[in-house]
Amino acid sequence: MGFAYITCRDEDEAARIAKALLSKRLIACANLFPVRSLYSWKGRNQDEKEWALLCKTTRNQFKAIERTVKKMHSHKIPCICFWESADAKPFSDWVRKSLEEE
């Protein structure tokens, strides 16, 4: 099990992407929260309000998540990251079961 982390322009975009990933069974669940992002873009420092998605998923789903997000995202280069996690077995079992076809 692991996490996909995705930043979005606003809450609506984050919710729309999360719902699409859920409907495609690419993620088991998503948490949405406001973030303040400081970054450099085209030689200038930026200070922006964004929304972040923290999605519970598996490594096997990451490429499909990346393709889906890129089609829906407003940014030219969206932040789409994945990392493995250590977790309680009942929770990781639920995540894996949630991603299976019914």
What does the pLDDT profile of the chain (102 residues) look like in tens digits?
Answer: 999 999 999 999 999 999 999 999 999 999 999 999 999 999 999 999 999 999 999 999 999 999 999 999 999 999 999 999 887 888 889 998 999 854
CA distances from 77 to 8, 81, 101 (A): 11, 12, 31
| Domains of the chain (ranges, CATH numbers) | 2-75 (3.30.70.120)
102: helix, strand or coil:
coil
Residues 26 and 57 sit within 8 Å (Cβ to Cβ): yes
The whole-model pTM stands at 0.91
Distances (CA, A) of 60 to 32, 48, 74, 82: 22, 32, 25, 11
